[in-house]
Chains A and B, each alone.
Chain A
Amino acid sequence: MTELRGAFAQALALIGGADPSLVEIVLLTVQVSFSAVLLATAIALPLGGALALYRFPGRRGLVVLLNALMGLPPVVAGLAVYLLLSRSGALGAWGLLFTPGAMIAAQCVLVTPIVAALSRQVLEDLWAEYAEQLRSLGAGRARAIATLVWEGRHALLTAVLAGFGRAIAEVGAVLIVGGNIAHHTRVMTTAIALETSKGDLALALGLGMLLIGMSIVVNASAYLLKEYAQVRYG
């Protein structure tokens, strides 16, 4: 028990003192997960919009597949990206394996289905409300998707946040394609796993507390933003 209390105190000291190795890991984590979510959002919103507005053969299958992929195990996503990026893989020539770039790609694979599936639902509901008006004004499908994304931006933010939560919390994918190399591809989750197994509970705890704190800050700002928007935009 005293050992645990000591670890807590050490963890707080690490955070309070902005320990350089801690800061480095946090910065890389934020960088990787933000990039992955940004990239995934750029893919997922048009995809979700297209699935919401277009009717084509195989659409339902695609929707089901997307929903299923929301639960894609991170290690499987990691493995797939690993196979693609490994020396003998299709994209091996890019030399991305064991770099932050590979980690971004792997998290993007995890996040895209989540954002796409959730935004499809949001956009489909919006389309039901806006369809006649937008068609009457003469807006084509592509324009309508862009308009709906902007109209639903606050609801869509929740979808993006769900993706962000997934990205920042997962460990399997970044571990496989990143390799948890110190000062290079070590992020918070992989560091926690490693430090715990090494018995350095202080660093692991400190990182864990920061991880939870970050999650709270991001979600709280999104919540407040949404509330503000509700009042302002009706």
Chain B
Amino acid sequence: MAESAVKLQEPRAAAPATPGGPLAVAPAGREGRTAPAGNGEAEILPLECRDVSYAAGGQALVQGLTFRLEPGRRTVLLGPNGAGKSLTLRLCHGLLAPSRGSVRWLGPGAAQASARQAMVFQRPVLLRRSALANVVYALAVRGVPRRRRRTLAEDALALTGLLPLARRQARVLSGGEQQRLALARAWALRPQVLFLDEPTASLDPAAARAVEEAIGAIHRAGTAIVLTTHDLGQAQRLADDVLFLHRGRLLEQAPAAAFFAGPATPQARAFLRGELVL
């Protein structure tokens, strides 16, 4: 396969019209961007997926995916249910190994790739302990020194508006609060890339908005966002770049503005019109 059909924008290049969504997710402040952890650690991005396929039980679930994810960008994996969005996310995050093709981190910090990325799942898996302890646990696993965990955890809870609930048991929080806690836990790790799998799929609009705002804040701090959604509005609000998946194939990859203005494939046009795409 040729080098990705559409070359995604370099992070510092002027973004082609940041998402003009109705929600006030501030455009990414890319200028003066520092490494996410703020300690000058080497960048792990870009991530290159080259001709990636994944098969299970003899059936190819995604096929021939080739794309690059660049630092500082917000990439939305868009497509109908069953298109392979979540699977692609798991392949990128390293939870699954591709059956064919390669997933490679190309940045200078690539050796530390697994420690500098995080993922928020569609259904947050929280530990049976307090909200604060959930975040502290994640920091402990990553080897953050004990004395720094508390402060980092509280910062992350503050960012997602959960500080008042820090002492509450995580599993008895509401769905929206749980998802924000999952975000806080991921953010506390100061990842360079944050993968989000349908982060607002089962939330009401207010909770979804709170989650989107938290994602916006995390992105402004310099983290690249890779998010799956089948929600068009969300994609328009959050995306710098769009990868459109359909039946396990990557049909389009384009800057968001270009994609939403003029999708190239009939499947994407139908999807944007809100038609049932089969």
- Tell whether, in the assembled complex, residue B127 and residue A151 are in contact, meaning their CB atoms are under 8 Å apart: yes
B115 proximal to A (CB < 8 A): yes
**Chain B contact residues, CB within 8 Å of chain A:** 90, 93, 95, 114-115, 118-119, 121, 125, 127-129, 137-138, 141-142, 169-172, 189
A136 proximal to B (CB < 8 A): yes
In the complex formed, the residue of B with least CB distance to A133 is B125
A225 to chain B, nearest CB (A): 14
- CB-defined contacts of B169 to chain A, threshold 8 Å: 232-234
A139 proximal to B (CB < 8 A): yes
- Tell whether, in the assembled complex, residue A234 and residue B172 are in contact, meaning their CB atoms are under 8 Å apart: yes
- Tell whether, in the assembled complex, residue B93 and residue A136 are in contact, meaning their CB atoms are under 8 Å apart: yes
Q: Which of A135, A137, A139, A143 has the most CB of B within 10 A?
A: A137
A132 proximal to B (CB < 8 A): yes
**A137 to B138 alpha-carbon distance, docked (Å):** 6
In the complex formed, the residue of B with least CB distance to A136 is B119
- Tell whether, in the assembled complex, residue B141 and residue A234 are in contact, meaning their CB atoms are under 8 Å apart: no
A71 proximal to B (CB < 8 A): no
| Known A136-B93, A234-B172: A130·B125 in contact at CB below 8 Å | yes
- Tell whether, in the assembled complex, residue A137 and residue B127 are in contact, meaning their CB atoms are under 8 Å apart: no
Q: Which of A136, A139, A233 has the most CB of B within 10 A?
A: A136
B3 to chain A, nearest CB (A): 29
B271 to chain A, nearest CB (A): 27
Query: Which of A135, A139, A143, A147 interacts with B95 by CB under 8 Å?
Result: A135
A57 proximal to B (CB < 8 A): no
**A143 to B169 alpha-carbon distance, docked (Å):** 22
- Tell whether, in the assembled complex, residue A132 and residue B95 are in contact, meaning their CB atoms are under 8 Å apart: yes
- CB-defined contacts of B189 to chain A, threshold 8 Å: 137
A3 proximal to B (CB < 8 A): no
Return the 3 tightest CB-CB contacts between A and B, nearest first.
A234-B171, A133-B125, A234-B172
- CB-defined contacts of B127 to chain A, threshold 8 Å: 147, 151
**A132 to B125 alpha-carbon distance, docked (Å):** 9
- CB-defined contacts of A151 to chain B, threshold 8 Å: 127-128
Q: Could you show 24 A-B contacts with beta carbons less than 8 Å apart?
A: A129-B125, A132-B90, A132-B121, A132-B125, A133-B121, A135-B95, A136-B93, A136-B95, A136-B118, A136-B121, A137-B141, A137-B142, A138-B141, A138-B142, A143-B141, A147-B127, A147-B137, A151-B127, A233-B128, A233-B129, A233-B172, A234-B128, A234-B169, A234-B172
- Tell whether, in the assembled complex, residue B142 and residue A233 are in contact, meaning their CB atoms are under 8 Å apart: no
Query: Which of A132, A133, A135, A233 interacts with B171 by CB under 8 Å?
Result: A233
In the complex formed, the residue of B with least CB distance to A130 is B125
Q: Which of A133, A138, A151, A232 has the most CB of B within 10 A?
A: A133
**A70 to B114 alpha-carbon distance, docked (Å):** 41
A72 to chain B, nearest CB (A): 33
